[in-house]
Amino acid sequence: MYLQHEYQSSTPDYRHWQIPLGRRFRSLKLWFVFRSFGLDGLRKYIRKHIHLAEYFIALISRDTRFEIVFPAPQLGLVCFRLKNGSNALNKRLLDALRNDKRIYLVPAE
């Protein structure tokens, strides 16, 4: 038992049957992912998103207005920007795409 007190008896004290106080319990999130997807499901999920990233790279590569910053996708992450575009112009593009709400993008500088 994590927290013991001097008045414990042989009867279980259910107040203390919980995630330990003051300790981080980061593995619970990972356990839920494994429990929900399973190892095979998680592998399929990751492979699918890598495939989608490769497809997105193919689409972006056909458009001369964009450039890929890093050629190989890293777990579904694709870094791209406007060619000859300033940071302000790239930020305006990011804001417009975010407001459209059909794709989720995060900025990188």
**Which residue has 């990751």 as its token pair?**
46
DSSP run (H or E) holding 81: strand 80-82
Q: Is the pLDDT of residue 30 over 70?
A: yes
CA-only gyration radius of the chain, Å: 24
Q: Is residue 3 part of a domain?
A: no
What does the pLDDT read at residue 72? Answer: 76
30 found inside a domain: yes
Residue type, 88: A
Pairing mode of beta strands 80-82, 66-68 = antiparallel
- Which phi and psi angles does 80 have, rounded to 5°? -140, 165
User: Which domain covers residue 51, as residue numbers?
Assistant: 14-100
**Is 91 part of any domain?**
yes
Q: Judge whether 59 lies within some domain.
A: yes
Mean pLDDT of the chain: 84
* Mean pLDDT confidence for 66-78: 84
Compute the average pLDDT of residues 45-70. Answer: 92
Beta bridge partners of 67: 81
Domain count, the chain: 1
Classify 82 as helix, strand or coil. Answer: strand
35: pLDDT confidence band, cut at 50, 70 and 90?
very high
